[in-house]
Amino acid sequence: MVRDAPAPATPALDELRDRAKQIRRNVVRMASGKGEGYVGQGLDVADILAVLFLSEMRYDPTDRGPETDRLIFSAGHYSIGLWAALAEAGHLDGYDLETYGSDGATLIMSTHEGHPDLIELTGGSLAHGLGVAAGLAVGYRLKGWPARIFCFSTDGEAQEGSTWEAAMFAGHERLGNLINVVDVNRTQADGDLVIEVEPLAEKYRAFGWWAADVDGNDVGALVDVFEQARAVTDVPKAIVCRTTLGRGVPMIVNRERNHFVRVGDDEWDAVARELEASM
């Protein structure tokens, strides 16, 4: 039997919104001058990661003890957002955000196990994260450890069969310590989703999960839905987050191809100005 862990303290919503904006500033600073990168994803996910790292999770990336929540970050292409959020949460001391994507840097454009040391999974579009997270959840339950296992994944990964094999397994095992956070921005490669994945929440429910849809760019709504999920202890939970790629920077939101965005050297000041004006 998994023992209940105490609910984490929740910072004021205005503070969380300010921290999410700082995560977006970090993303723009990291990408500036690189010419291209997964900027839209970092801007997209800032609110979700602010709530996860600064409000919901009892998290320390170097402490994997019984009380410390784990994060399996499946969506490696979102690494720019992950680095920006980890830095804002105080977990990237000693790493230079501005080296992101540069030759020899440990802060690379996708997640790779051990780079930096706190990263547990080589990610990307492979959709391996939920299976790994489900396995950890079983292990923690067997040990009676109260920590929860979070997985961060995307709608693109919902096109992979391994995601649904893991979802079926987790539902069958009633892994109440497992939470899958799914970012849904409905973009993939250089266009829309290749295969329709909706209705996502209903699909998870069909496998025995508790599931909820939420505006993933609304900090207040995110705090509320995680509170609801925390009260569910007997089945796995899916938080389906509806987001906008490039959130906060209209010139990126409105680009025809913004999955892997290309920004000219003369455009970065305009990107920063739009971010400050829109949030």
Report if residue 102 sits inside a domain: yes
Q: What does each C-alpha distance from 56 to 67, 69, 70, 179 come to in angstroms?
A: 14, 10, 12, 11
Report if residue 5 sits inside a domain: no
Report if residue 6 sits inside a domain: no
Task: Tell me the CATH number at 89.
Answer: 3.40.50.970
Position 119 scores a pLDDT of 86
Residues in the chain: 279
Per residue of the chain (279 residues), give pLDDT as tens.
344 444 555 689 999 999 999 999 999 988 887 766 788 889 999 999 999 999 999 988 888 899 999 999 999 888 999 999 999 999 988 888 888 888 888 888 888 888 888 888 888 777 799 999 999 999 999 999 999 999 999 998 999 899 999 999 999 999 999 999 999 998 877 677 788 999 999 999 999 999 999 999 999 999 999 999 999 999 999 999 999 988 988 877 887 776 767 777 777 788 888 888 886
Give the whole-angstrom CA distance, residue 63 versus residue 66: 9
Report if residue 227 sits inside a domain: yes
Helix axes 79-88, 13-31, angle to 10 degrees: 130
The whole domain housing 119 covers 13-278
Report if residue 8 sits inside a domain: no
What single letter denotes the amino acid at residue 50?
A
**Percent of the chain topping pLDDT 70:** 93
What single letter denotes the amino acid at residue 160?
E
List, as one string, the DSSP characters of 223-239.
Answer: HHHHHHHHT--SS-EEE
Short-list 98, 130, 100, 132, CA closest to 116: 100
Report if residue 90 sits inside a domain: yes
**What's the structural domain count of the chain?**
1
DSSP state of 58: -
